[in-house]
Structure 1
Amino acid sequence: MSNDLFNRTSTKELRRELRQRQTPAEVLLWNELRNRQLNGAKFRRQHSIGGYVVDFYCAESALVVELDGSIHDFPDAQAYDREREAVICDLGLSMMRFRNDDVERRLPYVLEKIAENLNTE
């Protein structure tokens, strides 16, 4: 995959801002994914792919993990999410979506589901 698709300079400030304004669910999940804690997989947070910034990305498994809060319940947000997911999946990546509530209340389940989709030895 082309390197100009990932972490474009044009999204650098946005990525930095998003890392500084993480939701509680993002903080919880990042604490479990960082430093190769989940099956040895390397995750990046607030990683840009094309013109989009995704919550978490594992290059070796071509896996994107997105966390959705209540803002994603609105029709406009749902349409944007569908478009965004289609673009990302067209690049050969897989996407998993979890609700913030799932991360906050059922973290072991979320981690298990992510682990099932990792290509690690």
Structure 2
Amino acid sequence: MADGISYERARRMRKALTPPEARLWRCLKGDKLDGLGFRKQHPIGPYILDFYCAAAKLAVEIDGAGHDNRAAHHIRRTAWLGAKGIHVIRIPALHVRDELDSVLSFISHTARTRL
């Protein structure tokens, strides 16, 4: 369960998506991707997931340039989420910009294999 600080941070983050997050969200919201329901900036425990499909227990993280030097954090975060049964996929922001159809296929396939 997320704490009150995480909920407040998530609420603020939902209003300030990065351009790649906003582009992907337009394709995910309203169950547009094969009927899969996604939430944006979803708090779980101490973490806020960029996108989360509860049915598949799948977190989709968009990694921009600011994520490059946070490898240790990502390892801890992925391990913590994995212990909760949540699978994390990381997608470079450039792929969302340049290869959106492939990104959507990858997300859909990964989610479907987890259902």
Shared fold per TM-score greater than 0.5: yes
User: How do 1:27-66 residues align onto structure 2 when only pairs under 5 Å count?
Assistant: 27-66=22-61
Check conservation: 1:60, 1:119, Cα contact below 8 A. Answer: no
Query: 1:10 Cα shift?
Result: 2.9
Query: 1:11 Cα shift?
Result: 1.4
2-side partners of 1:119 and 1:70: how far apart?
Answer: 29
Query: 1:9 Cα shift?
Result: 2.9
Residue in 2 that maps onto 1:115: 108
Q: Percent identity?
A: 36
Residue in 2 that maps onto 1:67: 62
Q: TM-score, normalised by structure 1?
A: 0.89
2-side partners of 1:63 and 1:93: how far apart?
Answer: 6
Structure 2 stretches of 5 or more lacking a match?
none
Is residue 101 from structure 1 mapped to residue 82 from structure 2 by the alignment? no
Q: Structure 1 runs of 4+ off > 2 angstroms?
A: 7-10
Structure 1 stretches of 5 or more lacking a match?
none
Give aligned pairs, total.
Answer: 114
Residue in 2 that maps onto 1:92: 85
Check conservation: 1:55, 1:67, Cα contact below 8 A. Answer: yes
Tell me how large the CA RMSD over aligned residues is. 1.5
Q: TM-score, normalised by structure 2?
A: 0.93
